[in-house]
């Protein structure tokens, strides 16, 4: 099995979910997507993660992002778990949780790392663009809950840099200055970046975020 890498087409699949059967690519449509895996149902850290994602629904929606979770348990188990998530996290889970009892999707996305655990998925995160290309992969160990503020930050960066000739510096947050990519010639900067720019070094040129 080949490892999934950035720029690859996200593998398509059909699966049962808590919101009915889906074909992944059809379900994504022209949206961005976040697919993230959980070791199993009724696990404590995952319960907090799914509750957090539900609370961030508006943030994902305004970025045109669809979210789907995955666990190696079945739909019936997922539905029971959702009741616990809604109760303990004071929210309503309103995105599909994929059932993957045969580990078909887990294998497609290389979510099981045998040296960590031979049967449970690690905490994988995949961000997928509207062309169905994998734009980001983050893998957390089962013991560490994910930072969904960071995932939103990365989505902001990916969407900005997909349409403008910029990159985002360390610790960048939406609204802050960005880096002009090296491919842009100095003479083209005024037209591309009318807000102006600052040359820190010839290879490090900063400009206000262009899409604001």
Q: Average pLDDT in the 174-180 region? A: 97
Q: Which residues are catalytic?
A: 46
In tens, the pLDDT along 23-59 reads: 999 999 999 999 999 888 999 999 999 999 999 999 9
Sign, CA dihedral 145-68-115-46, equals: positive
Query: Which backbone phi and psi does 50 adopt, to 5 degrees?
Result: -65, -35
Cα-based angle 163, 62, 108 (whole degrees, multiple of 5): 75
- Give residue 111's pLDDT: 83
Question: Residue 68 in contact with residue 106, Cβ under 8 Å?
Answer: no
Reported residue count of the chain is 212
- Give residue 110's pLDDT: 85
Spell out the residues 6+ positions from residue 153 whose beta carbon is closer than 8 angstroms to its own: 172, 173, 174
Q: Average pLDDT in the 159-182 region? A: 97
Q: To which H or E segment does residue 123 belong?
A: strand 123-128
Do domains 14-145 and 164-207 share one topology? The answer is no
Q: To which H or E segment does residue 156 belong?
A: helix 148-163
- Give residue 2's pLDDT: 56
Range 14-145: architecture per CATH: 3-Layer(aba) Sandwich (3.40)
More confident residue, 144 or 200: 200
Please report which confidence band the pLDDT of residue 1 belongs to, taking 50, 70 and 90 as the band edges.
very low
Asked if residue 205 has pLDDT above 90, the reply is: yes
Asked if residue 162 has pLDDT above 60, the reply is: yes
Please report which confidence band the pLDDT of residue 169 belongs to, taking 50, 70 and 90 as the band edges.
very high
Range 164-207: architecture per CATH: 2-Layer Sandwich (3.30)
Domain residue ranges of the chain, discontinuous segments joined by +: 14-145, 164-207
Q: Average pLDDT in the 176-202 region? A: 96
């Amino acid at each position: 099995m080949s490892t999934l890498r950035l720029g690859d087409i996200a593998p398509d699949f059909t699966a049962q979910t808590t919101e009915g059967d889906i074909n992944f690519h059809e379900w994504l449509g022209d949206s961005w997507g976040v697919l993230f895996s959980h070791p199993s149902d009724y696990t404590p850290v995952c319960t907090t993660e799914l509750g957090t994602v539900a609370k961030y629904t508006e943030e994902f929606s305004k970025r045109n992002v669809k979210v789907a979770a995955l666990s190696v348990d079945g739909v019936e188990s997922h539905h029971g778990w959702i009741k616990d998530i809604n109760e303990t996290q004071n929210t309503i889970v309103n995105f599909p949780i994929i059932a993957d009892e045969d580990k078909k999707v887990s294998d497609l996305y290389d979510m099981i790392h045998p040296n960590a655990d031979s049967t449970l998925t690690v905490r994988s995160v995949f961000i997928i663009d509207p062309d169905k290309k994998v734009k980001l992969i983050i893998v957390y160990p089962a013991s560490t809950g994910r930072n969904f503020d960071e995932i939103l930050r990365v989505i902001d960066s990916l969407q900005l840099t997909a349409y403008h000739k910029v990159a985002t510096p360390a610790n960048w947050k939406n609204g802050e200055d960005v880096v002009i990519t090296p491919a842009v010639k100095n003479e083209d900067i005024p037209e591309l970046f009318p807000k102006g720019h600052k040359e820190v070094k010839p290879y490090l040129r900063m400009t206000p975020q262009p899409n604001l």
